[in-house]
Amino acid sequence: MHSSDTGLIYFDEVRVPQRNLIGQEGAGFVYQMQQFQEERLWCAASGLQSLNNCIQWTVEWAQERKMFGATLADQQWVQFRLAEMKTEVEALRALTYRACELYVSGQDVLELASMAKLKAGRLNRIVADGCLQFWGGMGYTWENKVARLFRDGRLGSIGGGADEVMMGIIAKTMGVAKRKTA
């Protein structure tokens, strides 16, 4: 995310020429909420490959890393942890594919897209952290690709609506939280 400038921008008395108006004046918030379904599905879908890569790199590293006459991959805890993480990623894939299929068929996927985004954000943290641990000190270096996912993937729980915002939406679609009326 080094290439993504992060800072505050202030708009003060900014005049936008008519020719640059997108859609109807005053409807920007509604447009933003509508596009969020796609952005959140993208967040979930784009994470699938990087999560799988992270696990695969760690499998290869664990098979290579020797300690006390065995490899790291010989440790059952390491095997189980990697197996569990891979299972979680496949569950995210199933959720994401289902949501995408419904979206493409024209259905409202507010709840499923929010769930997929939430789960992807969570897994970006869990998988990157779990894998980084197995890389030991090597995982703590800037050059390490797993370390990069640890830093960059962290944005998944913040950008495009934070995890808490996703949970708020899901709680509303479930009916457990009240929807605000205008």
Ligand X SMILES: Cc1cc2nc3c(=O)[nH]c(=O)nc-3n(C[C@H](O)[C@H](O)[C@H](O)COP(=O)(O)OP(=O)(O)OC[C@H]3O[C@@H](n4cnc5c(N)ncnc54)[C@H](O)[C@@H]3O)c2cc1C
Q: By the criterion CB under 6 A, which residues form the site for ligand X?
A: 1, 4, 6, 155, 158-162, 164-165, 168
Query: Catalytic pick from 13, 25, 38, 39?
Result: 39
The contacts of residue 181 (CB under 8 Å, 6+ apart) are none
Nearer to ligand X, 27 or 70 (CB): 27
Please say if 60 is a catalytic residue: no
Distance CA(141)–CA(147), nearest Å, equals 7
Q: What is the dihedral of CA 46, 98, 89, 40, to 10 degrees?
A: 40
Nearer to ligand X, 104 or 158 (CB): 158
Taking a C-beta distance cutoff of 8 angstroms, is the pair 173, 110 a contact? Answer: yes
**Beta carbon of residue 56, minimum distance to ligand X (angstroms, whole number):** 25
**Beta carbon of residue 157, minimum distance to ligand X (angstroms, whole number):** 7
Distance CA(147)–CA(142), nearest Å, equals 7
Nearer to ligand X, 103 or 159 (CB): 159
**Beta carbon of residue 120, minimum distance to ligand X (angstroms, whole number):** 15
Query: Which residue do the tokens 């985004």 mark?
Result: 117
Distance CA(47)–CA(171), nearest Å, equals 24
Distance CA(57)–CA(51), nearest Å, equals 10
**Beta carbon of residue 82, minimum distance to ligand X (angstroms, whole number):** 28
Nearer to ligand X, 42 or 57 (CB): 42
Cite the active site residues: 39
